[in-house]
Every structure is written in C-alpha cells, then in structure tokens.
Amino acid sequence: MITIIPAVDIIGGKCVRLEQGDYRLKKVYEEDPLSVALRFEDQGIKRIHVVDLDGARASHIVNYGTLERIASKTKLVVDFGGGIKSSSDLHIAFDSGAAMAVIGSIAVTDRDLFQDWLFAYGPEKIILGADVKEGKIAVSGWTDITEIGLVDFLTYYKAFGVNQVLCTDIARDGMMKGSSVELYKKMVIDFPTMRIIASGGISSVDELHQLNDASVSGAIIGKAIYEGKIKLEELREWL
C-alpha cells in the first residue's frame, strides 16, 4: 500500500511552497513548521518529507534546528533533503533527527562520495533523489539540467544497492495540474527492486489510487494539502 508523505518545505524557518522550484514564486503557509507537523501527526500521518530550501540554495544544510524540533517533538518518521553536500551536512541531518536523507546533486556531481555514504549508512537510510526535467536529471536546486537520463541514472545506482528513489517531475511540482503517473508506472516496471516515491503535481485522490494500483511505494503531497484540494480525511484509507 502506498505511503502518504506530506511535504514540509522550509525557507527562513517558515513552511512554504514554491512553483517548479522557483524561489520567486514562494508562498508562506505557516510561520512554524512544527505546528504543521503536529497537525499531520494528529491526523494519523506517520511520515513527512522535510526540505531545507535555504540549504538547497546555499549548498549546505541550514534549517537543521527546525528539523530537530520536529523530530524531537513528534513521532513522525522524517526524511530530509536540501543542502546535503558534505559528510558534515549528512551527520548534522541524522544527528538532528532525520530517519532518512534524500541525496540528489551529490549523486551526480560526486558519485564516489555518494557511494561512500550508501556504504556507511545503508540503503534504508539513503534515498536517491532523482529530480527530472524532460527526462534529464537536474541538480543544484533544479537550476542545472544535466545530460544524464533518468533510466541511465537509476541503472547505474541499482548496481550499488540503491533501493529507494524519490523522483520529482520538476515541470509539475507545485502546479497542482496532476502527477506524471505514467512516468512512475514505467519506473516501477523498469526497476522492480526499487521503492519509487512519486513527487510533483499530485492534486487528487484519484491520482493516489492510480499510483497505488501501479505499486508506487510513496507519494509526496505538498500544495494540494495546503490549498485544501486534498483533505487529510480523504487520505485515511492509506494511513
């Protein structure tokens, strides 16, 4: 059964959402992300996806204090990403309470370091971040589009034991115009040993049913929850 994973994106210690990763299109939804996390927990959510958008832009972890507050004051499983560019950043994330770390850019720019982390922490704690635009992997807070294709990227890391992939379709992220369901269906078929987490554009319960039927492991939902397009009560069947 698919795991519902609400997103908590942080800029300046506040809970925000962007559109297609554009920092100019920022909307603040809550002054205190902990309040958001507590509301999710109260509704039966078990896991959240926390993104340090300041960290992604600064190329080092920034909002670890907020991560620590959420992890220490809730029982939520927190996967954390954004700005993890060094071993020190990764240590800070785990020391601050992250159960898992989502690593994207480093998996592209420094494959040896990513493999070291994978070996040191294991595939249950390291999630491969695959941010995609028109089939190509994007890095550095989605500002740079590489020539690396998604299939080649996943095939390479499958050989190193990666079994969790968070794939975001950048063009759909924050737009609430629907998820790339067909993309995720194909990923599940092509990489059956990997747990695929869908992210970007999920805007209806019907899409969640489609993703669940396709054996997608998890679904990250952001703006659709904050804008009330998907209500937490509607998610109960998966909680």
* Annotated catalytic residue within 89, 131, 169, 173: 131
Going 100 to 137 to 24 to 84, the CA torsion angle's sign is: positive
What is the distance between the alpha carbons of residues 101 and 128, in angstroms, rounded to a whole number? 9
pLDDT band at 227 (very low <50, low <70, confident <90, very high): very high
What is the distance between the alpha carbons of residues 61 and 105, in angstroms, rounded to a whole number? 13
Amino acid at 40: F
pLDDT band at 12 (very low <50, low <70, confident <90, very high): very high
* Annotated catalytic residue within 9, 54, 79, 169: 9
For residue 145, list its beta bridge partners: 138
Q: Which of 47-51, 68-72, 144-148, 219-223 has the lowest mean pLDDT?
A: 144-148
DSSP summary character for residue 191? -
CATH superfamily assigned to domain 3-232? Aldolase class I (3.20.20.70)
Q: Looking at residues 171-198, what average pLDDT do you find? A: 88
User: What is the residue extent of each domain of the chain?
Assistant: 3-232
131 labelled catalytic: yes
What is the distance between the alpha carbons of residues 150 and 62, in angstroms, rounded to a whole number? 28
- Which helix (H) or strand (E) is 205 found in, with range? helix 205-213
Query: Kind of pairing, strands 126-133 and 136-139?
Result: antiparallel
9 labelled catalytic: yes
Question: What's the confidence (pLDDT) of residue 173?
Answer: 60
